[in-house]
Structure 1
Amino acid sequence: METVESVSTSHGFGYLVDHNICLTYEEFVEECLARVSQSLKSLSLFGFPFFRYNSNILLLISEYCHNLVSLKLHSGWLYVDNMNPMPMLTTLTLESLRLEDKHLNQLNKCFPNLQLLSEFAITKTVKNLTLDSGNTKPTDNRDSKLTIGKVFMVFPNVSSLCLKSSAWLEVEASMNQEGWGSLDGRKGLKRICAYLKLGDPSWTFSSVACMLDQCVGLSEVSLLVHVRHVGNVCHNFMSNCIARWPRLKWRWGIWSDEILKDIWIKIL
């Protein structure tokens, strides 16, 4: 069948518990993909057994499915080393899967044009978290999906949080007139770093205030301002922050798309 565009397995495989059957499952997938991969745009694999070994499913998919747009995987322990990039893929759903932290960067590189990612399960082991976003332009609160509340819900034990510029724009866009609602104290969060664009300093200050006022355990805040806003606007913004939260340790810096390293200019 040379024109198959969508393949979805049933979840019966999830009840098989023999290790050899698990390997056979990969062999079955490889043989199937080799036959239908040319026209395949959507693939859903449900319930390959959850053993403590690295599944090569993603490697097989990246080897054969060059035109895949949507991918859904359920149950397993994923392995991504030597995986080929999949620039056509825009939608990825990962459910009940295990993926080691060291493989996250490689996974991101393999899906450069991803537009939609499924929600993460609650992850209690992550302590240091850096958030970025594919959106480079500000959105309004109707479009933004990233909120600080969701971040803390998924990563409840984060002690250090860094928000890159695009992620901060998403966070600002999620703010409404009532702010972000309750962040449940966030006593475990000790450090925050954010990359800011002061296009509307008063709005950005309100967003910073919403977060800092509720994260009562904070001890250190690092804010980097885009280089084009350095000047009186930046100076006034910094002064207002220090006056509002004098007990915190402050670090100020400059970031730019053109420079590789951030420039720290003041530590208070």
Structure 2
Amino acid sequence: MDDLPSPLILEILSRLHDSADLARCRLVSREFNALSSDVRTINFHCSLERYTMSRSPATRSDVTPFKTIFKRLVSSLRRVESISIGVEKPLREMSYDDVEDESDDLYLTDKCFISDWLPSVAGELKSISISDFWIQSCWRQSVVLSLISCDCLSLRELELKNCWLSVDGLNPMPMLTSLTLEYVRLDDENLGRVNDCFPSLQVLNLIGVGGLGRPKIHLLHLRTCQWTVSNAPLSLTILAPNLINLKLACVKPRSLVIDAPLLTDFNLSIETASKFQVKEPCNLKALQLESKYLCSLFNLFTFGRTIKNLIVDSSKCDESGEVAELNLAKLFNVFSSTTSLTLGPGAWSKAETWFLKQGSEVIGGTKELKELIARFYVDDINITLLFIFYLLEKCTSLRDMTLLIHHEVETSIASSIMSRSMAHCARVRWRWGLWMKGKKDAWISDGI
């Protein structure tokens, strides 16, 4: 190790996943000890094992407090550009049902703790990520946003998770281009302070942000947005003239207004909205739509003719337990220029139901569709095969079919579907596989 050039040693130290290892490396040699002070990144997270040991009467006296170790790390570095501090996933998923914890040893957005280390490194910081311990932070309001906005004038990226945030004293941060708030309570009911204080945002992620009433995102430079709405606000509004990618998940807002004329990629998960208004984006090419009521939403997409890549899915049954229908003829009519269509298992099931009810009266198809990808169950092999044959007949330009059968379907049934489908149509390039929820697809054959 002594023969390694100093720049390479520094690169190795900078790539350590856990900054606790950095302290251990200082004991290796004098050179390691000297070079470690030039590392510019801190990545320090509390594990479940450390938390458990700190609570056990038998071991807690041997455990150095998490905050103490972090402050030592910060003070030992000459220049810090990136800080990521938090609790690991098993701790983030704990709840009061698991343990009642009113201490503050892992309350990481605490004003006193932040004030202890932030001012000394704020000038060089480009990125901050804090993932708090929800059990300790959810009932304590934090002014961490105010502290960061006062001190970190060069900050580019900010990520805060699992905490209760106040916007009191929040100052404008014109240099910030990326903001992520995940599973937080935010005292900014309409997102007015977010819009005013972060005017240069290009990336915005709001995941499970509670406390919103009539939130409006109005950001002129925003290009990518992911918004997962945890509660049921009365209205949702997005005004973003430069937005390109939008992923939005909500339930039943009374009003949904999206004005994003440059939108190219749109992922929408919604049940329904009393008022649904999307200003026609001239460049929209990819749409992913998930809803219990797909057909009722189709007519709202008056710009469907521009979409080339379409992905649709739905819950297999509605709230009454009945399987609704997915009218493919209507889908092909609304999205008449789609060249690639992906059907999720719920959408496939509802399309099969529609096909079964229509029978020989089924009409409608498309000459534009070139590729079909589907994940599906098999309730009745004969109906499934007839439905596949219908798709081949009505989509005359179809050349690629990827069919993924649920992994619990009997092997003999899956094999029969494969062989009979390929025998029915030789013009198509077939790909076959198995799917299981939450798992990577397993391929059976490729390129046949």
What is the TM-score with the length of structure 1 in the denominator?
A: 0.61
Q: 1:145 to 1:100 in 2, by over 3 A?
A: farther
Local SS of the residue matching 2:307: coil
Uncovered stretches (5+) of structure 1, i.e. residues with no partner: 1-27, 31-37, 46-52
> Kindly tell me: are residues 55 and 151 of structure 1, through their superposed partners in 2, closer, same or farther at Cα, counting changes over 3 Å?
farther
Distance 2:346 2:232 in 1: 28
User: Aligned-pair distance for 1:256?
Assistant: 0.6
In the alignment, is the contact (CA less than 8 A) between 2:405 and 2:414 conserved in 1? yes
Alignment equivalent of 2:404, drawn from 211, 224, 229: 224
Q: Name the counterpart of 1:131.
A: 312
Match of 2:371 among 191, 204, 222: 191
Instruction: Show the counterpart of 1:11.
Output: none
For residue 238 of structure 1, report the CA deviation from its aligned partner: 1.0
Q: Aligned pair in 2 of structure 1 residues 239, 39: CA closer, same or farther (>3 Å)?
A: closer
Equivalent-residue separation in structure 1 for 2:372 and 2:445 (angstroms): 16
CA displacement at 1:178 relative to structure 2: 2.8
C-alpha contact 1:172 1:207 (8 A) present in aligned 2: yes
Residue 312 of structure 2 corresponds to residue 150 of structure 1: no
Indicate the SS of the match to 2:359: coil
Deviations 1:147-192 (A, max 9, x none): 21222222111111111111111211222243573224x2211111
Which residue number in structure 2 is paired with residue 204 of structure 1? 384
Task: Return the alpha-carbon distance in structure 2 between the equivalents of residues 197 and 146 of structure 1.
Answer: 16
How far did residue 124 of structure 1 move?
A: 2.4
Distance 1:213 1:161 in 2: 16
- C-alpha separation between the residues in 2 aligned to 1:209 and 1:202? 11
For residues 83-132 of structure 1, give each alpha carbon's deviation from its aligned partner in whole angstroms, at most 9, with x where no partner exists: 9x886x42465579546545633x549x9x97567432232222121112
Larger radius of gyration: 2
Say which SS state the counterpart of residue 124 (structure 1) adopts.
helix
**Larger RCO (alpha carbons 8 Å, 6+ apart):** 1
Aligned to 2:302: 121
Q: 1:104 maps to what in 2?
A: 266
Q: Distance in 1 between matches of 2:256 and 2:328?
A: 22
CA distance in 1: counterparts of 2:415 and 2:319, whole angstroms = 26
Give the drift of 1:217.
Answer: 0.8
- 1:264 correspondence with 2:426: no
User: What SS does structure 2 have at the residue aligned with 1:229?
Assistant: coil
Q: Distance in 2 between matches of 1:95 and 1:172?
A: 32
Equivalence for 2:134? none
Q: 1:90 aligns with which of 252, 261, 264?
A: 252
Structure 2 portions without partners, runs of 5+? 1-189, 193-210, 273-289
Change (3 A) 1:71 1:145: farther
Q: How much has 1:241 moved relative to structure 2?
A: 0.6
3-state DSSP of counterpart to 1:104: strand
Q: What residue in structure 1 maps to residue 395 of structure 2? A: 215
What CA distance in whole angstroms lies between the structure 2 residues aligned with 1:138 and 1:237?
28
Q: 1:156 to 1:67 in 2, by over 3 A?
A: closer
Whole-angstrom distance in 2 between the partners of 1:144 and 1:54: 40
1:155 and 1:220 map into 2 onto residues whose CA distance is: 19
Contact persistence 1:183–1:215 (CA under 8 A): no
